[in-house]
Amino acid sequence: MLTSQNLRGIIPALPTLVNADDSLARGDMAKLVDHVYAGGATGVLPIGGTGEYGALPHATRVDAVSVCAAQSQPGQTVMVGVLDTGIYDALKAGKDYAAAGANCLLVLTPYYTNPTQRGIRDYFLRYADESPVPVLIYEIPYRTRVAIAPEITHELSRHPNIIGMKACNTDMYHFLQVAAGVDADFTILSGEDSLFPLHMAAGAKGGIIVTASMLPAFWVRMHDLVAAGDLAGALALHRQALPMMNAAFGETNPGPMKSVLDLFGISAQKILMPLDPCQPERSARLRAEVEKLLAL
Residues marked as catalytic: 138, 166
Q: What is the 3-state secondary structure (H, E, C) of 149-164?
A: CHHHHHHHCCCCCEEE
Could you tell me if 234 and 222 are in contact, meaning their C-beta atoms sit under 8 angstroms apart?
yes
Q: What does the alpha-carbon distance between residue 252 and residue 275 come to, in Å, rounded to a whole number?
A: 7
Q: What does the alpha-carbon distance between residue 129 and residue 112 come to, in Å, rounded to a whole number?
A: 23
Q: What does the alpha-carbon distance between residue 79 and residue 81 come to, in Å, rounded to a whole number?
A: 7
